[in-house]
Amino acid sequence: MTNHTKCLIIGTGPAGFTAAIYASRAMLNPIVIEGPQPGGQLITTTEVENFPGYIDGVQGPKLMEDLRAQALRFGADIRSGIVSKVDFSGAVKKVTLAAGDEFTADSVIICTGAAARYLGLPDEQKYLGLGVSACATCDGFFYRGRVVAVVGGGDTACEEALYLSNLAKKVYLIVRKDYLRASKVMQQRVREKENIEILFSTVTMGLFGEEVLEGAHVATHSGTANENFYDIAIDGFFLAIGHQPNTEVFLGSVDLDEAGFIKVAAPSTATSAPGVFAAGDVADPHYQQAISAAGMGCRAALDAERYLMEQA
């Protein structure tokens, strides 16, 4: 079994599978490396209603199964493994897996995604998909007319709270500090929304509910003489404290921004390493939607094809 390819794709979320579909149809015979979570974040998502083509919505795992099957249909060679080392310094790129397998490629597309940051509460995983979410745009629709909470004090948290305020009956914005870190404009918009209540100097201690989320245990001025514990009744709990891109293995091989996301030369998906491209959440700190990741995967495959043609 050959370990050399014209195009090596690392990661199998919407970006990786879409890149595989396009690269396969371009006769690049791509090898695709599935990481520790094949299918990416959507594997842990329940209902997806905003991905085009699924009129009645689709379960996250089913969507990824469909994308995987389509990539296989066009001949993508999907392998399992965790990338432990890369060398993008030469014309031929080298990628080593933790198990010791080595791959060489004329081009590489990085689609390793990003993971939402969580508070670290045991209950977060218990209620994941049952009230806990890290994407208001993805899941807010299910909380129309209900009560939700958003954790965070930056622009993202304020944006999520504002988005949810147009759907939910009430939105709690749980802020660890005694002020918002968001821009002045965002702060003003949040304060002017009648159904958003900001809980300053507040931390979440735990979540509770029988089968689905029913509320949160919170504390104000935690660790001080003024510490106060109480519960809030909520149907949804949205994390908005950022994402961590899966780029540790690429440190020093491609340029990253201050948050660790891969820098690309927009409008292309080219990284700082010639012949290496990046697509999806790993290079997109702004949109982080399945459909935008898929579109970027398409662009990356087209960029890789064009690069290989120029090198021929």
Give me the residue label for tokens 């300053």.
200
Cβ-Cβ contacts under 8 Å for 140 (sequence gap 6 or more): 148, 163, 164, 167, 168, 236, 238
For the question of residue 138 being annotated catalytic, the response is yes
- Considering the candidates 111, 135, 158, 298, report the single residue annotated as catalytic: 135
For the question of residue 158 being annotated catalytic, the response is no
CA distance 85 to 89: 13
- Considering the candidates 7, 138, 158, 298, report the single residue annotated as catalytic: 138
Cβ-Cβ contacts under 8 Å for 11 (sequence gap 6 or more): 33, 35, 40, 110, 111, 112, 113, 246, 280, 282
Is residue 124 classed exposed, middle or buried when 0-12, 13-18 and 19+ CB atoms within 10 A define those classes? middle
Q: Is the dihedral of CA 286, 288, 291, 297 positive or negative?
A: positive
For the question of residue 135 being annotated catalytic, the response is yes
- Considering the candidates 77, 106, 123, 139, report the single residue annotated as catalytic: 139
CA distance 53 to 38: 22
Which positions are annotated as active-site residues?
135, 138-139
